[in-house]
Structure 1
């Protein structure tokens, strides 16, 4: 197994983790540092990807958690899990750009799916992905997620979600049945 996926500790985030998680998510999606990995959105969105208030809201909510992945003293990945009735929502997924492509993301999503099945008895996992992110959607499809064709508009004008560099952004719902 690759060294990027050995010695990992999964745990729910605490208030003390907020700044570190914001930095991780930003590094995976925005700015030049994100180009070290393949999940960058730097060409389609500038500005912030997430703010401390958004991360803290996930941590504090009784129906959600921010799952963190630690290797030694460093957070190397994270994701948001939220109970929404019979299904769970998967979001705010980030893997350190320098570790992308080493199998860590596959482990994180598998652990997230296991946790929502066991903890919340979720029968489906839902997520939204920017529809122009064909490479990312294909990665999720290889993990068993299916495109639904259900679109929701991108929140143009709300800089909490970034500054769009194109006018055709929207979110597509992806769904996976959890066995």
Structure 2
């Protein structure tokens, strides 16, 4: 990040007005608002336009991390020496440590786990292709049941993460990734 500061001119009478070129604008717009590299120039123009110079601060982009990494960052907040805690819990990869330190300082979002529809294509002499699709049983919680179907359908109870596929022993099945909008 550069150490140079940028300044904008904000109206003294209304917090919603910013200086743009030759007048105050009612809304912030990246295309219209003037940025100044010098505080002195911004102050001079601000005085002529009933404004005040303010430092323009750009918020850093949040780091995308896994749920496990988020736990490390959250636990670091409770430590006397957070950087030491992150260093000791981020594994042997230096880039992972740097990523977690950035997440601690700049904030983070947790990556969504990919979800999959899990099924087996059934062979045979039937006229139409058939599938046995896995789903979480509501009758026997914590187990997987199968349904015979003509097409693989996307329902919340039929979506599995990689960890769940491994837990239930479904690695030898076919799988289709489900997108964020719920389609296959």
Asked if these proteins are the same fold (TM beyond 0.5), I'd say: no
Structure with more relative contact order (C-alpha pairs < 8 Å, separation 6 or more): 1
Using structure 2 for the length normalisation, give the TM-score: 0.18
Structure of greater Rg: 2
Greater helix share, structure number: 1
Using structure 1 for the length normalisation, give the TM-score: 0.19
